[in-house]
Structure 1
């Protein structure tokens, strides 16, 4: 259930929704962080659900000392009215027994809010790629039937649709399936949106666990090529603003008193 931060519920009709899948390397979540921080998006509400691991923490996008006291939760919605853009940032994993219920919640909210299209930022284990997926870039996309009109645009950008792989490798190649190992709810949500005629695009990056900040910049740059959220930077510079919370992305460092 969406809970507004204001007295009235914001109108998302005609907006583009961007949300991450909690997947390998947290690439989608890091990318969402960059969008929210760079565009200085305003928090307009949160999703109240028992499907996610609950958390509470300080404002991850604070720029001044007075902004840190704002409480952040596991699933928050940010908005940019000029761009007609909304971002749902999901910060915690989906409970294993609640995956189907969470997908149903997302699809219901997306449909009732009137979003014109939804973009799911995700990732998948690089070491699970088959031979055909080793060619080209590490970026792949999927489109539901309700969003097929943008396929030509994505192909002009040089993007590759996610290949189906053999259901029985080494035995029979006649049956193909969609396989996204490490992708969290990506495959299920994509299938649900196909069934419910929801305009959804999946942007997916093959990656490995580790320092996935470069992967996040790669994914968000490709997204920007399509949606034009920001002007392209001059050579050698970056348009994306790293949030303050990333200072402790890998912990606070080794205490000097140990040596």
Structure 2
């Protein structure tokens, strides 16, 4: 493991056969918000913290328990043993100079731990949606992706690839990560939504709703939205009300 990227695991855990969910820092932060919903709703346990020069430093309170004395940083790993799912939450944009090295390290780390699948959640600019009469969600997957049959049944719209290179406009590092997965023959599914900047928490709920159709971590016999628990940190998304003194 590269000394440039440091992983601190808080306990030993067998991740063989798990699915890794990772967000790309993108327009509206939809992927990150969706991962927040997963971590909070499934009461996932923090497995590791990650340091890398590719990560802009962030330090703050525990976003899922404001009464906790623990601190959170730019990149952390959370685990749900009952659902065989692990989430790599990224809370800051990547420094482009080191991005590829960091993503390669992420993939090699989880390959060593025998992860079975990877699902990347991201978003794209709303004005890039050329088929506005269809669902705002799109997908892209590697040839060896194990979710192919489920996606065929869902009749989702596939990402329209550019003839010159793979691009998801506004999607952050999603396509770079996808190409690295392909190079390493690691199954990867990208799910993204066209959206605009603003209050993107509804987009995150929609993202988890669609994710649950291919990765059923919530009870499908019940209303999924009743099973989702927004993290405590969402109360602070837009800060406090405007001070009356300014008027």
1:226 aligns with 2:211: no
Q: Which runs of 5+ in 1 are unaligned?
A: 166-174
- Write the mapping of 1:91-106 to structure 2, written as runs, cut at 5 A: 91-106=91-106
Q: Which residue of 1 aligns with 2:196?
A: 208
Following superposition, the deviation at residue 128 of structure 1 comes to: 2.2
Q: CA-atom RMSD, angstroms?
A: 1.8
Find the aligned partners of 2:134 and 2:90 in 1 and give their Cα distance: 30
Correspondence 1:43 to 2:7: no
Contact 2:218-2:224 within 8 A present in 1 as well: no
Q: Which residue of 1 aligns with 2:65?
A: 62
Q: Does 1:163 align with 2:160?
A: yes
> How far off is 1:244 after superposition?
0.5
> 1:23-172, aligned counterparts within 5 Å?
23-62=26-65, 65=67, 67=68, 69-129=69-129, 131=130, 133-147=131-145, 149-165=146-162
Q: 2 CA distance for matches of 1:151 and 1:236?
A: 23
Partner Cα separation in structure 1 for residue 225 and residue 64 of structure 2: 21
Are 2:7 and 1:2 aligned?
A: yes
Determine the C-alpha separation between the residues in 1 that align with 2:221 and 2:24: 27
Contact 1:120 1:202 in 2 (8 A): yes
Q: 2:184 aligns with which of 191, 196, 201?
A: 196
Partner of 2:23: 20
Query: What whole-Å deviation, never above 9, does each CA across 1:102-122 have from its counterpart, x for those lacking one?
Result: 221122112112111011011
Rg comparison, structure with higher value: 1
Q: What whole-Å deviation, never above 9, does each CA across 1:85-130 have from its counterpart, x for those lacking one?
A: 111110011012112212211221121121110110111112123x
* 1:236–1:105 Cα change, 3 Å: closer
Higher mean displacement: 227-236 or 79-88: 227-236
Separation in structure 2 between the aligned mates of residue 236 and residue 88 of structure 1, nearest angstrom? 22
Distance 1:145 1:236, change over 3 A: closer
Count matched residues.
242
**In 1, Cα distance between the equivalents of 2:102 and 2:160?**
26
Query: Cα–Cα, structure 1 residues 256 and 232, in superposed 2: closer, same or farther, change >3 Å?
Result: farther
- Aligned pairs (5 A) from 1:235-254: 238-254=226-242
CA distance 1:234–1:151, shift in 2 (3 Å): closer
Structure 2 unaligned residues grouped into runs of 5+: 1-5
- Residue 217 (structure 2) pairs with residue 217 (structure 1): no
- After superposition, what is the alpha-carbon deviation per residue over 1:48-73, rounded to whole angstroms, capped at 9, x for unaligned? 2111001111000006x3x2x11101
Q: TM-score if structure 1 supplies the norm length?
A: 0.88
